[in-house]
Structure 1
Amino acid sequence: MSVDTVAVGDQLPTREVHLTRQDVVRYSGASTDFNPIHFSDRHARAIGQAGVIAHGMWTMGAALAGVIEWAGGPDHVVSYFVRFTRPVAVPDTDEGTTLTFSGTVTAVENGIATIAIEATCGDDKVLGAAKAEVRL
C-alpha cells in the first residue's frame, strides 16, 4: 500500500468476529484481568449488566486487528483512540455473540491515513469516536 493508492472514502474490509464465554475466560487469563464480571453472571448482574461482558481491551484490540491487517502490520499504527460506548454481552451459549468491525479512510496527509472505525454487536455501537492513524 502506498499513499498514492489510498484515498479518503476508501472502505476497509468488514470483519466479523465471534466471541464465546470460553474466549472471554481465556482472555481473562492472558490479560490477568480476573474481574468476575467477565465470567460470572451473578457478579455482572450485581453491577447492572444483563450477564457476563467482554473485556473492553479485547474489544478495542479486535477493532484494531482489521486496521493492522489492512495497513500491513502493527508497526504502521501511529495512534489509536476509542471510547467505550456499550459493553459487549456474551451469552452462555455455544454461539456466543458476533461483533462486526469496519473502517473508512477519513483523511490522508503526509503519508498518514486516518481510519474511522465502526464496531457493533447486533444493533449496538460498542465503540465511539474510534480512530486509528496508520503510516502508509
Structure 2
Amino acid sequence: MTRRPVDLEVGQSLDPRTVGPITQTDIVRFAGAGGDFNPLHHDGAYARESGLPGVISMGQMQAGMLAAWVSDLFHVEHVLAFSVRFAAPLLIGDILVLSGTVDNIVGAGPEAVADLALSGARADQAIITGRARVRITTASRA
C-alpha cells in the first residue's frame, strides 16, 4: 500500500535530525556493509599521514544518512530524485545535523512535487549538501 504524500509549503523548514556523535564503530560497520576498506576510514595513523586530522567516514555514509532522513520524512515511494555534493569530511566525534527547506513547488493536485534544498552540517560547517524532489499533496506557491 502506498502511503499518502506529505503536505508542504514553499519556504517551509523540514524537521531536522541529529546524528552522532559519529564513532569508529559507525564507520567500520558502514565500511563492512558497503565494502569500502580504504584505510582512511579505519586507520588513524594512515589518515593523519595523508593530511587528515584522523579517520574520516566515507562520503556515501553521509549521503545515506541524508537519504534515509528524506525517505523517513516523505516516504521512499514519493522520493523522485536525490543528489548530493560532499563539502567536507565527517570525523569521529562529529555530530551531524540534517536540515532542509522547501525551495519550490511545481504542479497541482496529484501531480504536485516539491524541490528541497538539503544539508548536513557539523556546528556551522557544511559536510554535505543536496537536492531532492518529492511528491506532495498540496500545491502552495511562493
TM score, norm. by length of structure 2: 0.84
Question: What's the RMSD between the two structures over aligned residues?
Answer: 1.5
Over residues 35-79 of structure 1, what are the superposed CA-to-partner deviations in whole Å (9 max), with x where a residue is unaligned? 1100111111122110000110010111122221111x2121111
Deviations 1:1-30 (A, max 9, x none): 657x31101111011001211110111100
- What letter corresponds to residue 134 of structure 1 in structure 2? V
Contact 1:99 1:119 in 2 (8 A): yes
- Measure, in 1, the Cα distance between the counterparts of 2:12 and 2:70: 12
User: What is the match of residue 114 of structure 2?
Assistant: 113
Q: Does 1:66 align with 2:63?
A: no
Secondary structure of 2:95's counterpart equals: strand
For structure 1, the 5+ residue unaligned runs are 91-95
Aligned counterpart for 2:37 among listed residues 34, 39, 43: 34
Q: Is 1:125 the counterpart of 2:126 in the alignment? A: yes
Alignment of 1:6-85 (within 5 A): 6-18=8-20, 19-71=22-74, 73-85=75-87
* Equivalent residue pairs, number: 128
1:88 aligned residue: 90
Q: State whether residues 113 and 135 of structure 2, in contact with CA within 8 Å, keep that contact through their aligned partners in structure 1.
A: yes
**Residue equivalent to 2:139:** none
Identity of aligned pairs, percent?
35
Relative to its length, the structure with more strand (as a share) is: 1
For the 8 Å contact 1:67–1:103, the answer to whether it is kept is no
Runs of 4+ in 1 over 2 A off after TM superposition: none
Q: Distance in 1 between matches of 2:31 and 2:14?
A: 29
Where do 5+ consecutive residues of structure 2 fail to align? 137-142
8 Å CA contact 1:13–1:66 kept in 2: the answer is no
Q: Scaled by the length of structure 1, what TM-score is found?
A: 0.87
Aligned partners of 1:12 and 1:67 also within 8 Å: no
Distance 2:36 2:60 in 1: 10
C-alpha contact 2:104 2:116 (8 A) present in aligned 1 = yes
